[in-house]
Chains A and B, each alone.
Chain A
Amino acid sequence: MLLDAVRREVSSETRTDSREAGAAAIPRVPSESGQRGIAVTVRDLHKSFDGHAVIEGLNLFLPAGGFTAVVGRSGCGKSTLLRLILGLETPTGGRIDLEGPEGSLRRSEPPKRIMFQEPRLLPWARVVDNVAVGLSGQGTRAERRERALAALAEVGLADKAGQWPATLSGGQRQRVALARALVSRPGLLALDEPLGALDALTRIGMQDLIERIWRAQGFTALLVTHDVAEAVALADRILVVEAGRIALDLRVDVPRPRRRGDPDLARLEGRILDHLLGG
């Protein structure tokens, strides 16, 4: 479809821009990053639960390495869309294609990962072992531990490796969950309102952390949120979902790193909120 093609062009441009801005701001690991993203194509997607339609004929293309936010009122189908893309639900109709750096996606390379609203850490496993869960049995025990420790260091919790999750604060637990999601170097990271339960300051810290790691690693990020300010701060593209379809598809051209309270961001946020409240 022509529209799709145009959208694809536009999105990949935005991506390049933001990448360059990112490279200037923080030195990133030169290897592999940028080519690991998974591209997602959704065609005429339908999903209903007990005859009640939640997604109705949704089309979408997510370019590899982009950061897309999906916003909408509760019950609009945004979480279902994310779960469908992750393969946690089976579509009633239509298809979803995932494409990795080496063409069509074979089995789970690179893996897709999800961060839930709750940390969902195993309370009976030490923090480092919880992170190692993300490696799902790859390599030897020692290698897994080493990679888990590195991922913990990336989220700033290296000193908590030997602790039980029960001893951590809510924000720290969610950082452990982020480390677990990232330790396997995923090609697609889905974030299902992962910061919803955190206090305002912790949220901002987490947003910065997610953005920094996304820029360093170059995975495709898909964030579902009801916080429009969060979507605007993080994403380079925002989709507003209404009644199972995409009602609004907006690019966020503001260069990174973004300043909180930037007038462009505020204007965009206002526009989306008007749409959500007015519609």
Chain B
Amino acid sequence: MPASKLERLRDTAVPWLLPAAILLGWQAAVSAGLVSNRFMPAPLDVARAGWEAGRTGELWTNLGVSTLRALAGFVVGGGIGFALGLANGLSRLSERLTDTSVQMVRNVPHLSLIPLVILWFGIGEEAKLFLVALGVFFPIYANTLHGIRSVDPGLVEMGRVYGMSRTELFTRVVLPGALPSIFVGLRYALGIMWLTLIVAETISASSGLGYMAMQAREFMLVDVVVLAILIYAALGKLADALTRQLERACLAWNPAYRSA
């Protein structure tokens, strides 16, 4: 039906109206000379800068380096956070042993460790990996733990009465029950992942998107600085969209996550 197709098109278009309007207004303001392009380049200039950086390959190299760092830190920190969250959710002993310490460390803003991390690791890859892993660890840990704690005890009892083994109880009752909460942690963690990486790269790096932006500042290339910022926005949106897809696939049973 053309009517419903039109409706679907409208539904997809609506969220992009505002960004498009801002972009147009921005271009108009710079073109009309209302804003000096020394401070704020026009969108077309930014696009040109992007094209140029893409052509020389500089953009792709830096993007690749940053993505690899982000993912490596995410896998390490998220993996440890997930494992410890599971352990503490399933074992009282493990929780009593570690939770207090984790909560104490959590209250230290992880970016405040940058000076220390530079002293330890210099400006090498380890520094970035460490910071990203630390930042990603807490949301994954806290939400995994919370998810396991909030699994309906009635379902666990049902599983026991119906003769499920411990492994079955975990894979069929506890883990699926904790999944919505784990996804919340995942989305938080992805945000923190980019944030940490960009800050770390801005302060101490010799490659990556943050480094690219800092270099551009040195040479007063405002268009490249803005380009870098827009790329962060796009990457954040991409990570969020991927998580949403994953949520929809894994949580199809939950009416709150079912696609329309």
Contacts and interface: CB of A to CB of B under 8 A. Distances in A.
A111 B253 contact: no
Contacts of B168: 137
Given A108-B163, A111-B163, A133-B162, A120 B155 contact: yes
A118 B152 CA distance: 12
A122 B163 contact: no
Given A86-B161, A88-B161, A122-B173, A166 B253 contact: yes
A99 B191 CA distance: 60
A124 interface: yes
Interface string A79-113: 00000001010000000000000000000100101
Given A88-B161, A122-B173, A133-B162, A164 B253 contact: yes
B170 to A, nearest CB: 13
Chain A contact patch, size range: 20 to 34
Given A122-B173, A122-B176, A134 B254 contact: no
A73 B162 CA distance: 29
Nearest to B175: A124
A166 B254 contact: yes
B203 to A, nearest CB: 44
A61 interface: no
B237 interface: no
Chain B contact patch, size range: 20 to 34
A24 interface: no
A116 B152 CA distance: 14
B15 interface: no
Nearest to B156: A120
Contacts, number: 48
Question: What's the dominant secondary structure at chain A's contact region?
Answer: loop
Question: What's the dominant secondary structure at chain B's contact region?
Answer: helix
Interface string B148-173: 00001011011101111000100011
A201 to B, nearest CB: 25
A114 interface: yes
B175 to A, nearest CB: 10
B176 A116 contact: no
A203 to B, nearest CB: 21
B162 A134 contact: yes
A137 B163 CA distance: 9
A75 interface: no
Nearest to B164: A136
A164 B168 CA distance: 20
B255 interface: yes
Interface string B17-44: 0000000000000000000000000000
Contact of B163 (A88, A136, A166): A136
A114 B155 contact: no
A123 interface: yes
A118 B154 contact: yes
Given A134-B162, A136-B162, A122 B172 contact: yes
A225 B51 CA distance: 74
Contacts of B255: 166
Contact of A123 (B159, B162, B254): B254
Nearest to A163: B253
Contacts of B162: 113, 133-134, 136, 180
A234 to B, nearest CB: 22
Given A122-B173, A133-B164, A136-B163, 15 more contacts: A86-B161, A113-B161, A114-B161, A116-B154, A116-B158, A118-B154, A120-B154, A120-B155, A123-B253, A123-B254, A124-B253, A124-B254, A133-B158, A165-B253, A166-B255
List the 7 shortest-distance A-B pairs measured between CB atoms, nearest first. A136-B163, A124-B176, A120-B158, A124-B253, A164-B253, A166-B255, A120-B154
